Amino acid sequence: MKIRPVILCGGSGTRLWAESKKNTPKQFINFGGWNLFTKCLKRIKNPIFDYPIISTNLKYLLKVKKNLKESKIKKYKIILEPTKKNTAPAILTSALISEVPNNQAMIFFAADHLIEKNNSLIKSIKKHTNYLTNENIFIFGIKPNNPSSEYGYFLTKKINKDINKVKTFVEKPNLKKARFIIKKKGYWNSGMFFIRKDSIINNYKKFQPHIYKTCLMSVLEAKRKKNIYYLNKKFYSKNKNKSFDYAILEKNKKINAIKLDILWSDLGSWKEICKMFERNKKNYIKKSNIFYRPWGKYTNLFEGKGFLIKEINVKSKGLLSLQKHYHRSEHWLVTNGIAKITLDKKTYLKKLNETIYIPLGSIHRIENISKKPLKIIEAQVGSILKETDIVRYQDIYGRIK
């Protein structure tokens, strides 16, 4: 029996758009002919997978159908939540539909995660399929490439050559604790789960009987139109807002880990988005988008809806003007050299992989104090993303009129 992929596609991605609530949800952001949802759809185009189930809401239905069509996926089921209740109800209702056999293996992907080594993922799935039971759960862990406070972690204990049992979950620690966890060989909790349908049902019956009853009724009383389930609002709204982690994972003692050493990110911050563009910038660089300035040059890598990604190259001893913007904030990631950054009345030294946030309206500048070239990936976020939105206060190149 093939594995049933479920894509959780109801998030709004508000972390990226702190200054606006009207921007595109993260999974649908166009990053240059692709978005995270279509990357996920491409991931499931593998012979080991059955046709997908998409869990989303009415607000995103047209976008979901459009992306399915563009990805040439003709067979699918869509489950529409009448109200947002987090991942615990979403995962259960996806499993309860009649099209999923009782002992079918299911894998749950988030629509807004970027995975850049699908082959390793598929190989790991195949390796662990036969270990699934009607009680256990496998979660996918990512080997950290840096200490981060943006992700949860877990620690494991090796049971045999193929099974690593999860001992402890750690919710988004501070950087000091994250470094300690990594030394203890902790892994990021990716939020991807591998589990059989009967295990889902048994776990909810045991640990969350109220959620099980309300979700079952919301499916049984759902309106169906072709391949879409419109979950019953009366029953679904009785669920508490609860994540799968809190509802099930932290209560079940039979959680195992599938450890992956791959490039993975939920692109949940502009820092991670800047890193993604840095890794793939050769796909975006065009000669027509390179602009030379007295202090060096900048390259417009990609302009999306409400954001612009640039690479800034500052020559040795180069100094940009002291300036501010009325219509955009900026996120800077140093990818080479050392940057001396002025931000209002403070100065900072930023090195490789370090970041800084430039709020809208703040006075700032960049200076290369070293002999090496300074490179920065910049994400501009705002309503106007043009050079005209620069107010200069000081400039050694005589550009203040």
Q: What are phi and psi of 92, to 5 degrees?
A: -65, -45
Return d(Cα 284, Cα 399) in angstroms, integer.
30
Segment 337-353 shows an average pLDDT of 97
pLDDT value, residue 41: 97
Contact 336, 352 (CB under 8 A): yes
Distance between alpha carbon 388 and the CA centroid of its chain, in Å? 32
Q: How confident is the model at residue 150 (pLDDT cuts 50, 70, 90)?
A: confident
Contact 67, 41 (CB under 8 A): yes
* Domain at 271-394: CATH code: 2.60.120.10
pLDDT in tens, 288-323: 999 999 999 999 999 999 999 999 999 999 999 999
pLDDT value, residue 146: 87
Which range of 10-24, 151-165, 367-381 scores highest in mean pLDDT? It is 367-381
The residue among 23, 12, 10 whose CA lies nearest residue 329 is 23
Buried b (16+ CB within 10 A) or exposed e, 106-132: bbbbbbbbbbeeeeebeebbeebbeeb
Mean pLDDT of the chain: 94
Please indicate, yes or no, whether the overall pTM of this predicted structure exceeds 0.75. yes
pLDDT in tens, 209-255: 999 999 999 999 999 998 999 999 999 999 999 999 999 999 999 99
Q: Topology of domain 4-268, per CATH?
A: Spore Coat Polysaccharide Biosynthesis Protein SpsA; Chain A (3.90.550)
**Where do the domains of the chain lie?**
4-268, 271-394
pLDDT in tens, 157-214: 998 888 999 999 998 899 999 999 999 999 999 999 999 999 999 999 999 999 999 9
Q: What percent of the chain has pLDDT over 70?
A: 99
Res. 256: pLDDT tops 70: yes
Res. 258: pLDDT tops 80: yes
Q: Token pair 């950290």 is at which residue?
A: 144
The residue among 33, 13, 27, 21 whose CA lies nearest residue 304 is 33
pLDDT in tens, 46-93: 999 999 999 999 999 999 999 999 999 999 999 999 999 999 999 999
The residue among 175, 140, 112 whose CA lies nearest residue 262 is 140
Contact 77, 68 (CB under 8 A): no
